[in-house]
Chain A
């Protein structure tokens, strides 16, 4: 017996691509192979750190938008954000992880971003 759930679209490839991207919420399974455990855990941890970094960046942007930062504060916030971004890039390199792998799909929580 074959499932007959009908799926209709004139662009199946595009939808396959987007659906697969959207399903990468968190690493789908943690590979228990000792060689890969480290990378799996790194992915998880860095995804969360990346989330925090993005939240901080967004907060800063809201302050800039509201005009509530002094010139000096803008300077210092900029400096810190640069450092954070550089650190993340470093960590990504060390663990051989790409941006797409660290993208956290928050679903409804994404509204909070």
Chain B
């Protein structure tokens, strides 16, 4: 009987210790995930400067977007020798929005439009 009591006692202690270790491990793991999410930098799309794009003919093209002047100048890279530091990402258009009928017939469509308008307002300052 003494042996069985000792057996159950040791089992309970071991269970408690192992459980505690597992809990600590999980807590640390979750913390790491949360911290990684917090650290992730939010990319803001560039609004002005040089952008490297491809035109309709398939040739590379540099586009200058003005900050306050609203310039939009295309410089075709015909010979491939232009050395311009440009963003690889295409310029943010944002002036034309495309929707299908199914999207426009959904309940939350108007909310989505409102949200887009707010984003555009924020972007233009």
Chains A and B are bound partners: no
Q: Residues on A close to B: CB < 8 A?
A: none
